[in-house]
Chain A
Amino acid sequence: MAKVIGIDLGTTNSVVAFVEGGKPTVIPNAEGSRLTPSAVAFTQDGQILVGELAKRQAILNPERTILSIKRHMGTNYKIRIDNKEYTPQEISAMILRKLKEDAEAYLGEKVEKAVITVPAYFNDAQRQATKEAGVIAGLDVMRIINEPTASSLAYGLDKEGTQTILVYDLGGGTFDVSILEIGEGVFEVKATSGDTHLGGDDYDQRIINFLVEEFKRKEGIDLSQDRMVLQRLKEAAEKAKIELSSLMATEINLPFITATNSGPKHMNITLTRAQFEAMTKDLTERTREPIYRALSDAKLDPSRIDKVLLVGGSTRMPAVQRLVKEIFNKEPRKDINPDECVALGAAIQGAVLAGEIRDVVLLDVTPLSLGIETLGGVFTRMIERNTTIPVSKSEIFTTAVDNQTAVEIHVLQGERPMAADNLSLGKFILDGIPPAPRGVPKIQVTFDIDANGIVHVSAKDLATNKEQRITVKGGTGLSKEEIDRMVKEAQAHAEEDRRKREEIEARNQLDGLIYTAEKLVKDAGGKVSQDLLDGLNKTIEEVKSSDKSDLDKIKELTNKLNDAIYKVSTELYAKASAQQTSTESPPENQQQDSNGGKNEGTIDTDYKVQ
Chain B
Amino acid sequence: MEEELKENLPAEDIAMIKEQYKELEDKFLRLAADFDNYRKRMAREIEELKDVIRIELIRSLLPLLDDIERAFSSIPADRDDGIRDGIEMIMKNFQDWLTSQGVKTVEISDDIFDPKYHEVVVVEEDENIDKDKVEELRTGYTLNDRVIRPTMVKIIKKVKEGN
Q: Name A's B-contacting residues (CB within 8 A).
A: 1, 20-21, 31-32, 41, 43, 49, 53-54, 56-60, 106-108, 227-228, 231, 255-256, 259, 263-264, 359-361
The answer on a CB contact under 8 Å between B120 and A256 is no
Contact B121 A59 (CB under 8 A): yes
Query: Is the beta-carbon distance between A359 and B120 smaller than 8 angstroms?
Result: no
B128 at the interface (CB under 8 A from A): no
Residues of chain A within 8 A of B147, CB atoms compared: 31
Instruction: With both chains docked as a complex, state the minimum distance between the C-beta of A352 and any C-beta of chain B, in angstroms.
Output: 16
Partner pick for B74 among A20, A41, A256, A360, CB 8 A cutoff: A256
Contact of A53 among B52, B71, B116 (CB under 8 A): B116
Shortest distance from the beta carbon of A61 to any chain B beta carbon, whole Å:
8
Bitwise interface map of B from 124 to 163 toward A, beta carbon under 8 Å scored 1, else 0: 0000000000000110000000110010101100000000
Q: Contact check: which of A31, A57, A228, A255 meets B113 at CB < 8 Å?
A: A57
Residues of chain B within 8 A of A231, CB atoms compared: 121, 152
8 CB contacts below 8 A, A to B, read A56-B118, A56-B150, A108-B40, A231-B152, A256-B67, A256-B71, A256-B74, A360-B31
Chain B residues positioned under 8 Å from A60 (CB to CB): 113, 120, 123, 155
Say yes or no: B116 contacts A227, CB within 8 Å.
Answer: no
Q: In the bound complex, how far is the Cα of B32 from the Cα of A361, in angstroms?
A: 11
Smallest CB separation, B21 vs chain A (Å): 15
**By the criterion CB–CB under 8 Å, are A32 and B52 in contact?**
yes
Q: Which residues of A contact B97 (CB under 8 A)?
A: none
CB within 8 Å of A: which B35-62 residues:
35, 37-38, 40-41, 48, 52, 55
Is there an interface contact between B74 and A259, defined as CB atoms closer than 8 Å?
yes
Residue among B35, B116, B146 with most chain A CB within 10 A = B116
For the complex of A and B, the 3 pairs showing the least CB-CB separation, nearest first, are A256-B70, A56-B119, A227-B122
Q: Which residues of B contact A227 (CB under 8 A)?
A: 121-122
A21, B115: Cβ atoms closer than 8 Å: no
Are A49 and B122 closer than 8 Å at their CB atoms?
no
Q: Does B27 contact A (CB under 8 A)?
A: yes
Task: Give complex CA distance A96, B118 in Å.
Answer: 24
Contact flag A20-B27 (CB < 8 Å), given A57-B113, A227-B122, A256-B71:
no
Give the shortest distance, in Å, between B55 (CB) and chain A (any CB): 8
B59 to chain A, nearest CB (A): 11
Contact partner of A264 (CB less than 8 A), chosen from B27, B74, B113, B137, is B74
A-B contact count (CB 8 A): 69
Q: Are A21 and B120 closer than 8 Å at their CB atoms?
A: no
A41 contact set on B, CB distance < 8 A? 115
- Docked CA distance A118–B137 (Å): 40
**What is the CB-to-nearest-CB distance from A487 to chain B, in angstroms, rounded to a whole number?**
28
A108–B146 touching, CB < 8 Å: no
Q: Is B34 an interface residue (CB 8 A)?
A: yes
Check if B146 sits within 8 Å of A32, measured CB to CB.
yes
Name the B residues within 8 Å of A255 (CB-CB). Answer: 67, 70-71
Residues from chain B with Cβ under 8 Å of A21 in the complex: 31, 34-35, 38
Q: B92 contacts the other chain (Cβ, under 8 Å)?
A: no
| Other-chain residue from B55, B115, B137, B150 in contact with A49 (beta carbon distance below 8 A) | B115
Scoring A21, A41, A256, A360 by chain B CB atoms within 10 A of each residue's CB, the highest score goes to A256
- B35's closest neighbor in chain A, by CB? A21
Distance A361 CA – B38 CA, assembled complex (angstroms): 16
Contact partner of B34 (CB less than 8 A), chosen from A20, A32, A54, A58, is: A20
A256 and B138 CA atoms in complex are apart in Å by: 14
* Cβ contacts under 8 Å, B155 to chain A: 60
Query: What is the CA–CA distance of A256 and B66 in the complex, to the nearest angstrom?
Result: 10
B35 cross-chain contacts in A, Cβ below 8 A: 21
Q: Is B30 an interface residue (CB 8 A)?
A: yes
Question: In the complex the two chains form, what is the Cα distance from A41 to B119 in whole Å?
Answer: 14
Distance between Cα atoms of A532 and B154 in the complex (Å): 86
Residues of A within 8 A of B70 (CB): 255-256, 264
- B126 CB to nearest A CB, Å: 15
Docked CA distance A520–B122 (Å): 84
Report chain B residues within 8 Å CB of A360.
31
A108 contacts B121, C-beta separation under 8 Å: no
**Nearest-CB residue, chain A, relative to B37:** A108
Looking at the assembled complex, report how far the CB atom of B35 sits from the nearest CB atom of chain A, in whole angstroms.
Answer: 7
Q: Which residue of A lies closest to B146 (CB)?
A: A32
Complex Cα spacing A256 to B67, Å: 7
Q: Are the C-beta atoms of A59 and B123 separated by less than 8 Å?
A: yes
Contact string against A for B residues 95-126, beta-carbon threshold 8 Å, 1 for contact and 0 otherwise: 00000000000000000010110111111000
In this complex, the member of B31, B67, B121, B138 whose beta carbon has the largest number of chain A beta carbons within 10 angstroms is B121
Least CB distance from A252 to B in Å reads 12
Question: Which of the listed residues A43, A53, A263 has the most CB atoms from chain B within 10 Å of its own CB?
Answer: A53
